Amino acid sequence: MRYIDPSSLMVLTIAGMLFSCSVEHKNAQDETRPNIILIMADDLGFSDISSFGSEIPTPNIDRLAEEGIRFRQFYNMSKCETTRSVLFTGHYQGNSASQSIVGLARNAGYTTLHFGKEHFQDWVPAHCYATETNEKSLTFWATTQYFVPTEDELDKPFILDGVETDPKDLDYETEPFFKTDVFTDYAIRYLDKALEKGNPFFLTLPYHAPHYPLQAREEDIARFRGKYLIGWDSVRQKRYEKMIELGVLDASYPLTEPSSNINRFRGHPKDNDDIRAKIPLYRPWNELSEDEKDALDLEMAVYAAMVYRMDLNIGRVLDFLDERGIAENTIVMFLSDNGACPYDSNRNFDIPPGGADSYRTQTAAWSNASNTPFRFFKQYGHEGGTHTPFLIRWPAVIKNAGTFTDHPGHVVDIFPTLLDATGATYPMSYEGKEVLPLDGRSLLPVLQGKEADPSEFFISGHTERFRMFRKGDWKIVRTNGEAWELYNLKDDLTEITNLIEQYPEIAKDLLDHYDEVKERHKNRAEGE
């Protein structure tokens, strides 16, 4: 363990203050190109931050809302690795010539840093990975625990600049080791070093929170313990009302009926059958026993504590920008990789959630509350799985701060947006292969307050079994590979009324278009 003693930190802090003037002066030599900070939560529901309806206090993320712009309709790919693959390459399906927006920014003179989760689909080429595109990186693959694991078999290594590293050997500032804090420690430490170069920086900060396992600092859990005894029914209703009050959601869109998890392809581990049978189901809160309510209050208290701690760390980053005088021309984006997760990956029910020796997941009914006002969850193509809170702050460009936009967007649009902002060059070829055109469209005109056409279509949902395809206001979506459903999102954003029988010709046109797109993507991916 390489814990940094606070007394040493005080010396470093004073030195940093003395050095900050020269840093600001040096950074001023490249004021035209913005710095970029891309922050991604993991398995965070649409309503899990307070500026989107939550009771969980997230004042620092709320700053981004107050000083930037909120998207009411923004999509991810409904799954961890698919969202990251599409975001960083700008392709729904790429090939070995696909490029990373981070790598292109580095080629354009940006100092690039990545501290957090990494998880890609198999088609993403190695030259797009963090160790190849960043000057400094600390990553992990898929899922790891938040505290230093107490059981070696649960441990997965962190990757520090391409080298497997035991978490005990990482430098961190606060005992005990907690992953959300550690990534921020590294981010701030190396942002300061980046400013010395006088170049703009591109920081990717993909936190793991609040993805399972449900683990949080004791003091953070205590803040929320008992607040969820009101139950998931009341939480959903209160969030829905707050979303309307804030302007996140139009009152014409009703709250959906509670959802159980009906994903047939995500089963339970084998044991504790009586407990596991309840995990995917919605049950009215007033029908639960007092012991169940207490246990489920703790579960959601830990989840809320994880979101709260992530927000505290985002505040550390925003404070750094203020202290260095560089917030004005820094783009800060915040989003989630998919909706809240209802899946049973629990281990050892004898240990309650929260501590380093626990390994527990969120019950589906709580995940449904996280995804208010929508139905369903992570992996689903319905809005509960793919609709993300998305905020952008860029004071130098966004002049209508504190407002919303109804411009529909998707993670596929982030690449061309940042390409425009950085002035990086998109290559025509890579190692003798043609580089595929980007699938999204830049959101820069929207940030500038101008009218802009959205991307022609949006794709999401995990695999063909849960696929969604949206074009204009119309959307087709399916569950478990079953019959397609059709919704008009302009009139029915919460997907209450399936119009497939009323408008079969519209559904057919959408499906035909999607089949064409799917075949085109397959052919270009195979055309190495």
What DSSP string runs through 192-221? HHHHHTTS-EEEEEE--TTSSS-B--HHHH
Residue 80 among the catalytic residues: yes
β-strand 468-471 against 458-460: which pairing, if any?
antiparallel
Which among 421, 412, 420 is positioned nearest to 440, based on CA atoms? 412
Q: Half-sphere exposure (CA, 13 Å, Cβ side) for 168?
A: 6
Catalytic residue among 80, 208, 341, 382: 80
Which among 315, 274, 339, 361 is positioned nearest to 57, based on CA atoms? 315
> Would you report the helix, strand and coil content of the chain in percent, each value rounded to 5?
40, 15, 45
Q: Which residues contact 443 (CB under 8 A, 6 or more apart)?
A: 392, 407, 409, 413, 414, 417, 452
Enter the DSSP assignment of 335: E
Longest CA span, the chain:
70
In whole angstroms, give the CA distance from residue 125 to residue 340: 28
The 8 Å CB, 24+ separation contacts for 520-526 are 521/92, 521/93, 522/93, 524/93, 524/95, 524/436, 525/93, 525/94, 525/95, 525/123, 526/95
Residue 127 among the catalytic residues: no
Backbone angles phi, psi at 87, to 5 degrees: -60, -50
Cβ–Cβ < 8 Å for 370, 44? yes
H/E segment holding residue 139: strand 136-141
Indicate the SS3 state at residue 449: coil
Tokens of 143: 């899922």
Q: At what angle do helices 179-196 and 290-324 cross, to 10 degrees?
A: 10
In whole angstroms, give the CA distance from residue 291 to residue 396: 53
Residue 488 burial (CB count, 10 A): 17
In whole angstroms, give the CA distance from residue 528 to residue 524: 8
Indicate the SS3 state at residue 336: strand
In whole angstroms, give the CA distance from residue 475 to residue 287: 36
Cβ–Cβ < 8 Å for 368, 409? no
Catalytic residue among 119, 387, 410, 521: 119
Tokens of 478: 């399916």
Q: Which residues contact 254 (CB under 8 A, 6 or more apart)?
A: 373, 494, 496
CA angle, 176 as apex, 170 and 181 as ends, to 5°? 65
- β-partners of residue 487 are 475
CA angle, 152 as apex, 150 and 156 as ends, to 5°? 105
**Active site members:** 80, 119
